[in-house]
Amino acid sequence: MVSDQELAKVAVAEPHRLERFLTGLAPEDWSWPSACEGWLVSDVVAHLAQIGENFAVRMGRGLKGDPSEPPGNVAAGSVSEDEFRDLLADSAISRRKRMGVSLLPSLIQSNQELDEAIIGLKPHDWDVPCYHPMGPEPVRTLVTMRIAETAMHSWDIRSSFDPQAAISPECLPAMVITIPRAVRRAFRPNPNLSQPVRYRFEVTGPVTAQVDIVLSAAGARVELDTSEKPDVTFRCGAETYVMVMFGRMKMGDAIARGLLEVEGHQS
């Protein structure tokens, strides 16, 4: 369990680590492909700047009692996961083209605005609902998403220049919390699946957790610390778990590198 105070501290610190890295890049480095498929380094930065601005606006409106969509946003629940993903990609590329050399200053500015909002949170603020395209989410979820977005996309950028780049250990607890969202985006209903299949992840390291991902004809769901018998059990460290579930590491590669142990039906 991560306290709200810990979430706030990491959510403010991690974006500034990325700022320091980006400040050291040469102009040509911004056109380098990132590890986020289909996005240049500059596209990823544009996405993070936009996320920061959006979260600050949503949080500000929510804390004033208004969880409705801000001007220019789609109505909550009106888009599918695939449509939402496409909207994010299109808006990031559009912003990158529009901002040009002002991209880094715009990221720094958006970070400052969101920092102020997070630092100013009171204990009763964390459960206040705010706008999200897939449906209202509490402030706590937005802050957790902020950490996950920054940590994962920071790795997407840094790993393009440093094969040994790693996710900040301080961010892993928040990233593990967001895994159910990643599962929701990754899996679709499969009518050909006659019986549910239960995959268990036993996670160790900076985060210790037992997480079951259950696939069925209706889609996927996440269950925590259940006593149900799994069909397959995976054992790995928290970073490997996050990298696999966020699609940055293939399961076969993790097994081949000795980062992931498998027990159960190989099929």
Confidence of residue 133 (pLDDT cuts 50, 70, 90): confident
Helices (H) and strands (E) in the chain, counts: 9, 7
- Please state, in angstroms and rounded to a whole number, the distance separating the CA atoms of residues 244 and 182: 10
Q: What is the mean pLDDT of residues 200-227?
A: 93
Domains of the chain with CATH codes: 4-170 (1.20.120.450), 180-264 (3.30.1050.10)
Confidence of residue 148 (pLDDT cuts 50, 70, 90): very high
Confidence of residue 267 (pLDDT cuts 50, 70, 90): confident
- Please state, in angstroms and rounded to a whole number, the distance separating the CA atoms of residues 253 and 257: 6
Q: Give the pLDDT of residue 138.
A: 97
Q: How far is CA 171 from the centre of its chain?
A: 10
Does residue 215 register a pLDDT over 80? Answer: yes
Encode pLDDT of 34-78 as tens digits: 999 889 999 999 999 999 999 999 999 999 999 999 988 878 777
Q: Which two tokens stand for residue 188?
A: 């679709």
Q: What is the mean pLDDT of residues 220-235?
A: 94
Q: Give the pLDDT of residue 257.
A: 96
Q: What is the mean pLDDT of residues 160-181?
A: 94
Q: Give the pLDDT of residue 259.
A: 97
Strand runs labelled E in 179-225: 197-204, 209-216, 219-224
Tell me if 43 sits within 8 A of 93, measured CB to CB.
yes
Q: Give the pLDDT of residue 94.
A: 86
Q: Give the pLDDT of residue 12.
A: 97
Reduce the secondary structure of 102-133 to three states and give it as a string: HHHHHHHHHHHHHHHHHHCCCHHHCCCEECCC
Q: Which of 186, 179, 178 is nearest to 220 (CA)?
A: 186
Please say whether the dihedral angle defined by the alpha carbons of residues 120, 122, 125 and 126, taken in this order, is positive or negative.
positive
Number of other CB atoms surrounding residue 125 within 10 Å: 17
Q: Give the pLDDT of residue 264.
A: 95
Q: What is the mean pLDDT of residues 149-164?
A: 96
Q: Give the pLDDT of residue 150.
A: 97
Backbone dihedral angles phi then psi of residue 162, each to the nearest 5 degrees: -135, 105
Number of other CB atoms surrounding residue 220 within 10 Å: 20
Does residue 188 register a pLDDT over 90? Answer: no
| C-alpha radius of gyration, the chain, whole number | 19
Q: Tell me what the pLDDT averaged over the chain comes to.
A: 93
Q: Give the pLDDT of residue 98.
A: 87
Task: Give the residue with greater pLDDT, 185 vs 71.
Answer: 71
Encode pLDDT of 108-132 as tens digits: 999 999 999 999 999 999 999 999 9
Q: Give the pLDDT of residue 182.
A: 85
Encode pLDDT of 76-98 as tens digits: 777 777 777 777 778 888 888 88
Which alpha helices (DSSP H) does 137-177 contain, by range?
139-158, 172-177
Q: Give the pLDDT of residue 162.
A: 95
